């Protein structure tokens, strides 16, 4: 029984950040918040969410002992990616309003909380943001994004072998996915499933003729080939800046934004790679409002979703410039335990007996199913 089981407020207000699940904790790196200073170079911030205690902690800044040491720590950025391999989180790409886009590979040791820049070789991808990264075995795959030097969308695939720390540009066969940024790429088995993103109708250069593809493109990492895929119905609306994750061999997407429709989404879709078919999913409980540029991480049977940005309520669905940034967090539970279900059932029954209007009952149920919602959830401890 799929259910939105927890809703918390008061976490870090972050948009276009990157996050990784490590055991029962979620590490969130960088991003931005409207009104903050992104002209000054400063260390990237790291927030940690404990899924057991349901509390956030901000890690202290790294002490740097000179110019060389400063380079080991990434500066604040957005539109970057982060992946976990063994005990190391690899952070790559993204941009800053002062420095522009970046192509330095940074590594974060989850045991010591220390940053370092691994010695790499090979064909390093050009600096970009809005790309995707995913992991298979000991390799990280980078796809797409907006390349700063070429000033265009990319549809290249780069691979970093973390056993040798060698970058390579994959010579992919078949018909590639279209040039794009702010898409998602998810590994299921040995295949990479690419969905959505922003592209241009006429090619790799951005001419303000944006298109939002809603078809899945599949890359086979064993043959280095883009596969021909069938067309199926129904399909989700095309979108960018959504979230994607896999669970039990199926692909899920949530939220995102389509500028041509001027619409933010909070729908959840499931894709079955065997049947090559989509299905809209309606979880129980009260989920997030329509948003984009949030983060989703899987911890066990639960998805931790937090942050992002949405149209201001007074602006209706609004446009690019009337947005509010979120500091909330939701948990989507694929297998809620009996204690949680019983607690929700008792609360809902009590509220039904109260005679309150239906919409108010829902709000109260969402609040009382989690006792931490009304108090600060930041902690000075782990």
Specify the higher pLDDT residue, 356 or 318: 356
| Residue 257 CB contacts under 8 Å (≥ 6 apart), including other chains | 239, 240, 241, 242, 263, 264, 265, 292
Q: What is the pLDDT of residue 339?
A: 55
* Buried b or exposed e, range 115-151, using 16+ CB within 10 angstroms: beeeeeeeebbbbbbbbbbbeeeebbbbbbbbbbeee
pLDDT at 39: 61
pLDDT above 50 for 318: no
Choose between 13 and 319: higher pLDDT.
13
Position 367 scores a pLDDT of 46
- What pLDDT, in 10s, does the model give residues 329-365? 999 999 876 555 555 455 444 545 556 554 444 444 4
pLDDT at residue 356 in the model? 54
Q: Answer for the pair 290, 264: CB distance below 8 angstroms, yes or no.
A: yes
Inform me whether the pLDDT recorded for 281 exceeds 90: yes
Closest CA to 94 of 110, 105, 107, 86: 105
Q: How confident is the model at residue 381 (pLDDT cuts 50, 70, 90)?
A: very low
| Res. 1 pLDDT band, cuts 50 70 90 | confident
pLDDT of residue 342: 56
Interior CA angle at 106 toward 134 and 307, to 5°?
60
- Range with the lowest mean pLDDT among 24-28, 190-194, 305-309, 371-375? 371-375
What would the two tokens of residue 300 be?
């066990």
Q: Phi-psi category of 164—alpha, beta or left, where left has phi over 0 and alpha has psi -120 to 50?
A: alpha
What pLDDT score was predicted for residue 313? Answer: 74
Residue 347 CB neighbours (<10 A): 17
The pLDDT confidence band at residue 271, using thresholds 50, 70 and 90, is very high
Query: For the chain, what is the mean pLDDT?
Result: 87
| Confidence (pLDDT) at 321 | 59
The pLDDT value given to residue 352: 53
Q: Stretch 195-211: mean pLDDT, rounded? A: 91
Q: Considering the chain, what percentage of its residues have pLDDT values greater than 70?
A: 83
Question: Between helices 358-368 and 338-354, what is the axis angle to 10°?
Answer: 140
* Structure confidence by residue, pLDDT tens digits, 69-110: 568 899 999 999 999 999 999 999 999 888 899 999 999 999
Output 161-170 pairs: Cβ under 8 A, ≥24 positions apart. 162/85, 162/88, 162/90, 162/138, 163/138, 165/118, 165/119, 165/120, 165/121, 166/120, 166/121, 166/122, 167/120, 167/121, 167/122, 167/123, 167/124, 167/125, 168/122, 168/123, 169/123, 169/125, 170/224
3-class DSSP assignment, residue 185: strand
First to last CA, the chain: 31
| Residues paired with 54 in a beta bridge | none
Task: Give the pLDDT band (50/70/90) at residue 320.
Answer: low
pLDDT band for position 131 (50/70/90)? very high
Kindly tell me if the per-residue pLDDT of 31 is higher than 80: yes
- DSSP classification of residue 224: T
DSSP-assigned letters across all residues of 168-183: EE---BSSPPPSBBS-
Looking at residue 44, the DSSP 8-state letter turns out to be P
Cα–Cα dist 217/230, whole Å: 10
Q: Which among 186, 162, 3, 15 is positioned nearest to 92, based on CA atoms?
A: 162
């Amino acid at each position: 029984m799929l259910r939105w089981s927890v809703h918390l407020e008061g976490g870090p207000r972050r948009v276009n950040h990157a996050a990784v699940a490590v055991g029962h904790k979620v590490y969130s790196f960088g991003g931005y918040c409207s009104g903050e200073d992104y002209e000054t170079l400063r260390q990237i911030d790291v927030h940690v969410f404990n899924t057991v205690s349901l509390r956030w902690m901000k890690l202290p800044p790294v002490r740097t002992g000179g110019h060389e040491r400063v380079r080991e720590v990434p500066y604040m950025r957005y539109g970057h990616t982060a992946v976990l391999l063994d005990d190391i989180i690899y952070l790559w790409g993204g941009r800053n309003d002062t420095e522009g886009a970046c192509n330095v590979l940074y590594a974060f040791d989850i045991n010591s909380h220390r940053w370092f820049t691994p010695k790499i070789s090979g064909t390093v991808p050009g600096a970009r943001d809005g790309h995707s990264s995913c992991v298979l075995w000991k390799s990280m795959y980078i796809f797409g994004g907006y390349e700063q030097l070429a000033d265009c969308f990319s549809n290249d695939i780069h691979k970093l072998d973390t056993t040798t720390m060698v970058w390579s540009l994959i010579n992919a066969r078949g018909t590639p996915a279209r040039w794009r940024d702010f898409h998602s790429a998810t590994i299921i088995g040995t295949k990479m499933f690419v969905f959505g993103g922003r592209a241009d109708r006429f090619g790799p250069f951005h001419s303000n003729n944006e298109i939002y593809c809603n078809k899945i493109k599949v890359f086979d990492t064993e043959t280095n080939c883009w596969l021909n895929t069938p067309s199926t119905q129904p399909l989700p609306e095309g979108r960018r800046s959504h979230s994607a994750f896999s669970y039990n061999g199926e692909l899920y997407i949530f939220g995102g934004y389509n500028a041509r429709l001027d619409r933010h989404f909070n729908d959840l879709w499931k894709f079955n790679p065997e049947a090559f078919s989509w299905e809209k999913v309606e979880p129980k409980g009260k989920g997030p409002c329509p948003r984009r540029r949030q983060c989703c991480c899987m911890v066990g049977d639960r998805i931790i979703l937090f942050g992002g940005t949405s149209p201001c309520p007074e602006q209706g669905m609004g446009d690019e410039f009337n947005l509010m940034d979120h500091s909330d967090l939701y948990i989507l539970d694929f297998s809620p335990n009996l204690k949680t279900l019983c607690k929700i059932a008792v609360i809902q029954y009590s509220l039904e007996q109260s005679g309150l209007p239906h919409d108010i009952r829902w709000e109260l149920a969402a609040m009382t199913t989690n006792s931490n919602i009304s108090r600060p959830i930041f902690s000075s401890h782990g």
